[in-house]
Structure 1
Amino acid sequence: MQALFAFLYRIRVFLLFILLEAIAIVWMSQGNSYHSYVLRQWAREFSGFVQTQVAGVYAYFHLREDHQVLLQENSRLRQDLWHAYAQLNHLKALRHTPADSLLRDRYELVDAQVVGNQTHLSNNYFLINKGSQAGIAPGMGVIGPQGVAGKVVKCSPHYSVVLSLLSTNFGVSAYLPRLGHESYVRWDGKNARYAALKDVPKPVKVVRGDSVFTSNFSRLFPEGLLIGIVTEVKDIPGSTYRDVIVKLSTDFRQLRYVYVLKETDKEEIDSLTEGINF
């Protein structure tokens, strides 16, 4: 304590100067002069700057929470969109179906974060931080913010392994709405941004820029999810098919968050289709 008093005594002149400056500033701020106006303006600017910086720091440390909220909101909006689409289809079909038929959402979405990812192998996988405790099971489809991502192959209570669309042994049923043509997309094991659209006969006039969506032939994904855009079309010499390259809508090297598709009627459909491969 004695050392503190000795230190304050040594800087007594400086402390007196600070005190007098503070009194002068307070006195000036109380008046109506130009100096008091400038001082108050400067104080407001400084206060605003400090509050902005504090808010920025707070927002930075809450980015993960904010992103999780946005992810859940996006999941809800996607489900609402699919529900509205199902309602529209139901209304269109009323003239052909009984009025008391039950309208149901086919999928529920479970948002998850990608915690491990591969893009350099011939068959790639990624790991997500949701598992069986969240209702996820092998065989469920997985989508990203931009489109198709893969399917679940293994689960633990808190994690799941997803077979990526970047796998040479995984194909996705595809549809070209402009042409009304059904096909499928499979990765060729080369560039992580591109895959091949298979079984496209030469009479089917696919062109660059055609959109490729999921078809209604698969239970993994709902119809109409974007798979990619056609970027190259070439005739294969001696073949009746075309070589069609699709730029995938999902950039797997940047994949951070996904949605797992839980089929609401899975048990009923499984019991009905036991022994039949759809």
Structure 2
Amino acid sequence: MPDPAAADPALHQTGPAPVHMAPDAANRHVTHEEAIRVTDLHKSFGPLEVLKGVSLTAKQGDVVAIIGGSGSGKSTMLRCINFLETPNSGEIVIAGEPVAMRPDGSPADRRQIERIRTRLAMVFQQFNLWTHRTLLENVIEVPVHVLKVPRSEAIHRAHELLARVGLGDKADAFPAFLSGGQQQRAAIARALAVDPSVMLFDEPTSALDPELVGEVLTVIRDLAAEGRTMLLVTHEMKFAREVANHVVYLFEGRIEEQGPPSEVFGSPKSERLKQFLSSVA
């Protein structure tokens, strides 16, 4: 299992509003304040160009569902936003603050990156919990050791968060003794512990057995209903239509189509999007 601290920024510090929206999304309060703006983002791995000029804006309170086939660049885009991957070029603005980048796309100010990462929290496919630590220890790690929150306060908050995701009785359990769904819910609690402005979900249910998917989606649905700003990469089309107020369809590193879920799912314009939705129906 990879070292969580190497993969998760939380462990180092840690479209316009649509007219027609899904019922839950329609009740969400979205402000005019930008949470994230990505402009002309490019990323290559050797000769393979994975992102080919992606531009995306999410406002405070938005839930943006990012859909597309395997290899379309969905996960790479999320990883570039918090610099787990270094983009080759483009502009990234977090909460109104442009990220200083060198001509090759690498961050020019590492301290700025660490500060910005305190505003973001990412939940991964494979949970990335420390296996040798209890759930409580996983959740308090960044608040105590990076954000310098008093330990007693962090423990109290961790118990609240674990209870919130349905794991109030598992604080002293180790990840190996939990189901995948429980581990992912613990990872969400850990992400919430830094009180992020934006949550990034990278296919949070893709590694779960089918019978465990629902419990994780319920937690994410509740966060969306609270007005959490989220970018959500997912293969769960029904869920995306329910919780998102904006949907982005990526195809081969470009945004092929985007808009409110009622349009993207109900009346897609792109033939590629139509084929994709038909294939995952």
* Bucket of the pairwise TM-score, normalised by the shorter protein: under 0.3
Give the TM-score taking structure 2 as reference length: 0.25
Structure number, greater radius of gyration: 1
Q: Which has more strand, going by share of residues?
A: 1
